[in-house]
Amino acid sequence: MGEAATMARGSAAAAGAGAGAGPVPVAAGGVAERALFLWNNDHIVSLIAQNRSVIFPIIFEALERNIQSHWNQAVHGLTANVSEMFLDMDSELFEECQQQYIEKQARAKEMEEQRESAWRQLEAAVAAKALGDDMVLVN
- Ordered by start, the domain boundaries in the chain are 27-128
pLDDT tens-digit profile of 9-35?
Answer: 333 333 333 334 334 344 556 888 888
Q: Give the global pTM.
A: 0.63
Confidence of residue 7 (pLDDT cuts 50, 70, 90): very low
Q: What are the Cα distances from residue 45, in Å, to 10, 14, 50, 62? A: 22, 27, 9, 17
**Confidence at residue 12, expressed as pLDDT on a 0 to 100 scale:** 36
pLDDT tens-digit profile of 46-60?
Answer: 999 999 999 999 999
**Confidence at residue 133, expressed as pLDDT on a 0 to 100 scale:** 61
Q: Is the dihedral of CA 99, 83, 59, 73 positive or negative?
A: negative
